[in-house]
């Protein structure tokens, strides 16, 4: 049995866990704290849960109000309103919504009967949905049929992969599902799967919030798919389009540097760091994604040909752009490009073709920030130095310099 509890009070959460440990020792309880986590995503149907329990109230919200909204989502899991003994109207309010209700002291057999009824109802609803034409269609991602995932929408379409938002029954949350398209030739298909495997292995091994969480890796005769953490706020590129205050740009750059320190500490070079591979969480943290081009010393994996140029030209270090040996300082150069773009809204080097951009990274003078960002120029110069030995010695050193620059910026009372 899997239950989702909407509750803010830590004491009540603990009491519910204790009660479940006694009456349903194998039950899994996931807690959603509405004050910190906000409302449930509008596409979320809690299909991976047998029931959703709603506290009577919390600061700024009431369980009944949430129940009214959630009950209006077709296919949402059974709702159980926890009511106080004095709330005589809760039973009829719950019944009007097709929900269950039980006293929040959880005493007696009523709680167990409600859980059993909700579980049976959800099992039946799942079976009917899976067998229906709508259910089968919702589990299709392009030409791939992937059980246990409900397609919500396609986020992006590429030549080799498509990216979707889906709801995962097993994870009990919204996920990003990347599917290898079946329109490439056999060699391309094998290469995509190898990159999926590398991304899965790296993220699973590191298991750190600085890196995207990977839920699953799947393969069939014709398709491969990777199930990852979903970031509702999107990537840094999307945030940059809306405009970034200087202090926010410095804060994000410091976070990316710390994330790189985590990667480099595990023997991984990202090698394709760019705004589209920096994802934003609602709590202000970031997660790096897309390790398909990474070099992993632990796994001894490098899926690029020796002497080949790979990555995104606008963000490649001079040595990477010329297919020379690289180390962690190459990722720091890419971070410098991102920092410049966050502050100015433009890439430091622009040309009509990729090879011209690669040439400019090596030969053109170091980009200069506008005068109002003069305080940031020294750290940018270290990040984007043409020679690796003139850059910061490590990502952690770069993170400290960025944090110090941010402190100085704020102390001077510069424009936010």
* Angle value at C-alpha 144, between 141 and 150, nearest 5 degrees: 40
> For tokens 């929900």, what's the residue?
99
Q: How far is CA 365 from CA 53, 267, 279, in A?
A: 61, 31, 30
Measured distance CA(214)–CA(279) in Å, rounded: 14
Measured distance CA(27)–CA(31) in Å, rounded: 13
φ and ψ at residue 26, rounded to 5 degrees: -95, 5
> For tokens 């300082």, what's the residue?
329
Catalytically annotated residue among 50, 235, 272, 290: 272
Measured distance CA(203)–CA(199) in Å, rounded: 6
Task: Give catalytic status of residue 105 as yes or no.
Answer: no
φ and ψ at residue 195, rounded to 5 degrees: -70, -40
Q: Check residue 391 and report its DSSP letter.
A: S
Measured distance CA(189)–CA(171) in Å, rounded: 27
Catalytic residues, which ones? 272
């Amino acid at each position: 049995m899997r239950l989702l509890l909407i509750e803010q009070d830590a004491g009540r959460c603990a009491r519910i866990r204790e009660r479940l440990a006694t009456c349903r020792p194998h039950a899994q309880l996931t807690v959603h704290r509405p004050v910190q986590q906000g409302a449930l995503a509008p596409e979320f149907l809690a299909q991976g849960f047998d029931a959703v329990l709603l506290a009577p109230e919390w600061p700024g919200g009431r369980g009944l109000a949430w129940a009214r909204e959630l009950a209006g989502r077709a296919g949402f899991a059974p709702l159980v309103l926890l009511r106080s003994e004095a709330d005589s109207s809760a039973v009829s309010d719950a019944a009007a919504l097709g929900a269950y209700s039980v006293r929040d002291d959880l005493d007696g057999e009523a709680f167990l009967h409600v859980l059993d009824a909700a579980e049976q109802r959800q099992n039946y609803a799942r079976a009917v949905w899976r067998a229906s034409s709508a259910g089968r269609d919702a589990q299709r991602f392009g030409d791939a049929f992937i059980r246990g995932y409900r397609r919500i929408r396609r986020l992006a379409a590429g030549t080799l992969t498509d990216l979707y938002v889906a709801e995962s029954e097993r994870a009990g949350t919204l996920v990003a599902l990347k599917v290898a398209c079946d329109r490439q030739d056999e060699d391309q298909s094998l290469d995509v799967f190898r990159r999926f495997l590398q991304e899965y292995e790296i993220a699973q091994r590191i298991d750190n919030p600085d890196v995207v969480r990977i839920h699953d890796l799947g393969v069939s005769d014709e398709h491969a798919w990777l199930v990852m953490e979903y970031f509702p706020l999107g990537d840094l590129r999307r945030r940059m389009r809306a405009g970034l205050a200087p202090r926010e740009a410095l804060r994000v750059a410091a976070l990316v540097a710390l994330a790189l320190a985590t990667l480099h500490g595990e023997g991984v070079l990202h090698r394709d760091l760019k705004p589209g591979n920096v994802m934003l969480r609602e709590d202000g943290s970031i997660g790096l994604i897309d390790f398909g081009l990474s070099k992993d010393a632990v796994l001894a994996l490098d899926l690029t040909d020796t002497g080949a140029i790979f990555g995104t030209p606008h963000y490649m270090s001079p040595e990477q752009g010329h297919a020379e040996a690289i180390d962690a300082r190459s990722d720091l150069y890419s971070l410098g490009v991102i920092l410049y773009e966050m502050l100015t809204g433009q890439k430091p080097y622009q040309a009509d073709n990729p090879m011209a951009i690669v040439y400019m990274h090596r030969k053109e003078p170091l980009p200069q920030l506008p005068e109002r960002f003069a305080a940031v120029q020294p750290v940018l110069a270290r990040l984007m130095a043409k020679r690796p030995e003139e850059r910061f010695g490590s990502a952690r050193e770069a993170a400290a310099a960025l944090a110090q620059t941010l402190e100085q910026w704020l102390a001077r009372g510069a424009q936010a």
